[in-house]
Amino acid sequence: MIGGGLAGLMAAEALAAQGVQVDVYDAMPSVGRKFLMRAKGGMNITHSEPLEPFLDRYGRRRNQIVVLLDAFSPDALRTWLKTLDVETFVGSSGRVFPTDMKAAPMLRAWLHRCAKRAWGSTCATNGSAGTLATSARHRRCASPRPTASKK
Ligand SMILES: Cc1cc2nc3c(=O)[nH]c(=O)nc-3n(C[C@H](O)[C@H](O)[C@H](O)COP(=O)(O)OP(=O)(O)OC[C@H]3O[C@@H](n4cnc5c(N)ncnc54)[C@H](O)[C@@H]3O)c2cc1C
């Protein structure tokens, strides 16, 4: 998997659950960095409104998104977070937040679970996936150590 953002990590975990040996490569020294940045401004996970108005927010992409949300709905996301021991709450705006408002514990728990399921994450120091493909080994960051969020 090239890229250890939320999409890459989720795809890697899904593949590993099917018995596929997965290695995650990232240009940055650790995975999930943008995810950690989210917490700085108050990280919302999803929205609690009913599916129909929620889908309408996607405008012309509604028909593409409905398939995705059918497979993994906002409620399913909250249930998935519970498997990481992350509780969520609905804010006054209807947005859903982790109870502690922090991203780092969530990412740490997720990477810990991934490590236990025996797939590795490998981070490049040079920022290039092309170089990753030809270089034998890069700095390992298999042990979960996301950068701590200040908030
Ligand atoms: C300040 C901020 C606040 C946000 N707040 C929220 C929020 O509250 N709620 C919300 O839902 N979303 C929020 N977002 C958006 C959310 O962070 C993104 O939607 C999400 O991170 C996208 O995940 P991704 O996996 O698609 O991409 P990314 O998180 O960008 O991950 C891509 C990964 O690929 C790596 N990569 C890229 N190119 C290469 C390469 N050539 N070789 C190797 N690795 C590579 C990158 O280093 C990165 O780790 C926020 C974003 C920002 C910046």
Pocket test for ligand 1, best of 2, 38, 81, 123 (most atoms within 8 A of CB): 38
Averages of pLDDT over runs of 10 residues in the chain (151 residues) are 90 84 84 80 87 94 96 95 95 93 89 73 43 33 41 43
pLDDT, residue 120, reads 55
Task: Return the axis-axis angle of helices 6-17 and 104-116, rounded to nearest 10°.
Answer: 30
Site residues for ligand 1, CB cut-off 6 Å: 2-8, 25-28, 31, 33-35, 37-38, 41, 43-44, 128-129
Rounded to two decimals, the pTM is: 0.81
Q: Do the bridges between strand 88-90 and strand 23-26 make them parallel or antiparallel, or are there none, so unpaired?
A: unpaired
Task: Outline which parts of the chain fall under CATH 3.40.50.720.
Answer: 1-43+102-151
Closest ligand 1 atom to 28 CA: 47
Q: 104 is written with which tokens?
A: 């780092």
Note whether 41 and 151 are within 8 A (CB). Answer: no
pLDDT, residue 30, reads 84
Q: Just give the CATH number of 1-43+102-151.
A: 3.40.50.720
Note whether 103 and 35 are within 8 A (CB). Answer: yes
